[in-house]
Each structure stands twice: as C-alpha cells, then as structure tokens.
Structure 1
Amino acid sequence: MTSAYDKIYLEKAQIVLGRMTDYAVYDLEYAIDEIFDLFIKTGYAKRFENGDYQVLVGMSGVELARHIVEEATGQTEFCKPKYTMNRSEEYWLGWALAYYQWKSNFSFEYILDKVCASDILKLYMPYHEMDIREFCDKMSEIIKSPPAGACFEE
C-alpha cells in the first residue's frame, strides 16, 4: 500500500499525534474518545492522513490539540502544557495510531469506527513494549473481526 506521505515524515507525525493526545487528555481534560471524535469532525484527521505538511510537521502536538478544540468549540484560551519526563499511555496511543494509519492507509475515521480509541488504549500493556509491527498486526486482526462501531471488552 502506498502511504499519503513519505516515511521521512513519519517519526515527526507520530510525535505530533502522541503529544496532541497527551495534552488533550491531561491538560485540556478531554476524554480520549472525545478528542479523537473532534479530530475527525474538524477535518484535522483527514488532513493528517492525507499528508498535509502543515498538520504533520508544521505544528506541534499542543498546537494541533488547540486548533482542534478551537475549531470545534470556539475556545481560544488554553492552559500552558505540562511536560513530563515520561510518556503517558495516551501519548503511546497517538504515537502508535499515527504509525498504524500510515502503514495501513486506512482513514482515522475508518479505524476508530472499528475500534474505539479507549479500547486501543487497553492494548498499551503489553504492546508498548513490543515492536510497532506487533501492534499493527493486532489492530488489523481487531478491525477484521468486529462489526462496525463495536468496542471490545476485556
């Protein structure tokens, strides 16, 4: 499958989506499914997956989260981001999801219709310790098995 953007941009794209997710959840206090719903509804997901370089590498994850929230809600005042030394589970989710979307060439809307972001987060243990290709294999397996809109149970 041909990806919408070159692999040279992938690492930065993963960092942007990881940081967007972390900031939205921990600093802006959005639920994980809610922020990804806004990501899709505002069109930023489509721009990201289509390789819009302004979204992929032209802004930080914090800026992306702020653009999404501002466009969706009109909010223009935002708290200062808290940077930690450790990567959160939510950061991993955004980072891994960006890779999976790039590799599979599925849209974020399609992926998240098949498996909720909150359920992808349940894969953190043990997949954050594994090669990213293991996560991709698991995501493809999940996407092929449940009906659209289904979220899996632990």
Structure 2
Amino acid sequence: MSAYDESYLQPARANLGHMLEVATDDLGFGLGEFHGMFIASGLAARFGAGDYGLITGCSGAELAFHVVEEVGLPRPQRSEVRCRYDRGPEYWCGWALARYQWKTALAFGAIERFAPVEDVVLLYDTYHEMDVRHLDDWLDARRRNYFARTPLRMRRMAAGMSQSQLARESGVPVRSIQQYEQRRKELNKAAAETVVRLARALFCSVEDLLE
C-alpha cells in the first residue's frame, strides 16, 4: 500500500530532490547531516504521510528552510538559493528516495536505518540513467539483509536473553552486540575473544554464531 495518492508523487519527488540540493549546494549542510535534520524535525513524518502542504504547498527550497527552522537554526535568506538547470546526485537521491518511501509507506527514518542517504547518493553514477525500479531492487535487498536475523540474534532470542543481559553475561558492550545483530559490524571479523565470550554466554559453539 502506497503512502498517499499517486497523483502527488511527482511533485513530492521534485520537492524532496530540490530540498536536498538546496541544503547541500546553497546552505552548506552535509547530505547526511541535513537528512538527519529532516527526520528529526518531524517534517519527514508529515511528508511521508502525504502532507500536501509540504508536498505541493511549498517549493523544495522552502521545505529546506522549514527544516532549518524546525530544528532551531536561523532561517536562511532566500537570496542564498541559486537558480540551476542541471540536476546532480543530491537531487537524484531525494527524487529516488521519495518514490521508494511512497511505494513502501515506510518512514524516512526506517529507510535511513537500512539505506543511509550517504550510501544511496553514491549510487548516482550507476543508477541515475537506469529505470528507477533497479534502485528499488537494491533498496529492497538492503532492507531484507538489515532485518534478517543473524545467528547471534537467533541464539540470543532462543536463550531468552535481552541484548543488555547478554552484554552483562559476556562482557561485550551492548552497543557492539547491537551492531553485530544489525550487520553494521561483522561478527566474523571480530576479535576471537569477543566471539568466544558471546558463545560461552549463550552456551553454544563459536561456529554457531558465525555467518
């Protein structure tokens, strides 16, 4: 089920692309920094739910200004925004993510978890001239991989332990356990002592935890 009526999709894609373009090219923010601000401001949730005031009721530049204001920074001057006729990686990134968010109805914050905007923008050279559905396939694969249960997570859940409990029993920091379970760090590349501690705490072999 899509997030809102398809008739608003094209202006939504243009606005999100223009917002990121203005934020990075004109206002001097880093792409990941500003996208994080967009999510934290609450405007991403409204945009993703189909708030027509944000999708069609303002320009991408105005949307960027709204984000800045919502996080408590001084409002930029309109004169800081330049006119441009070409579209670069940041615009494409917003344009593509808006479509994926519409298609899946996932929150932008959820998409950011498995496909950080700074990873997506690196795909510009490969994907920007392709059918956007190829990028959808890439995002879907990242999503499946992110939410798939790792051996560590399955063993921990089978033992009835929380991440905090496992951290106490093993001596491995809870943050590291989270990163291993989310595949943001590879347990296969961890220090042998770390894997041994986890295996002992879970009463399993080291091999049971490796992928």
Scaled by the length of structure 2, the TM-score of the pair is 0.68
The CA distance in 2 between the partners of 1:8 and 1:149, in whole Å, is 37
Shift of residue 148 of structure 1? 4.3
Shift of residue 85 of structure 1? 1.5
Aligned 8 A contact 1:114 1:149 in 2: no
In the alignment, structure 1 residue 5 sits paired with structure 2 residue 9 = no
Residue type of the partner of 2:121?
A: L
Q: Secondary structure at the match of 2:3?
A: coil
Q: Structure 2, unaligned stretches of length 5 or more?
A: 147-180, 186-211
Shift of residue 36 of structure 1? 0.8
Count of matched residue positions in the alignment of Structure 1 and Structure 2: 150
Equivalent residue number for residue 55 of structure 1 = 54
Shift of residue 77 of structure 1? 3.4
Q: Which has the higher contact order (CA 8 A, sep 6+)?
A: 1
Q: Which residues of 2 match residues 39-118 of structure 1 at below 5 A?
A: 39-78=38-77, 79-118=79-118
Residue type of the partner of 1:109?
A: G
Give the structure with the higher percent helix: 2
Aligned 8 A contact 1:113 1:149 in 2: no
The CA distance in 1 between the partners of 2:107 and 2:8, in whole Å, is 17
Larger radius of gyration: 2
Q: Secondary structure at the match of 2:71?
A: helix
1:5–1:96: structure 2 CA closer, same or farther, 3 Å change rule? same
The CA distance in 1 between the partners of 2:127 and 2:107, in whole Å, is 22
Give CA deviations for 1:53-79 in whole Å, capped at 9, x if unaligned: 101111100000000011113312324
Shift of residue 114 of structure 1? 1.2
Taking only aligned residues, the RMSD between alpha carbons, in angstroms, comes to 1.6
Scaled by the length of structure 1, the TM-score of the pair is 0.91
Aligned 8 A contact 1:115 1:149 in 2: no
Q: Structure 1, unaligned stretches of length 5 or more?
A: none
Q: Secondary structure at the match of 2:37?
A: helix
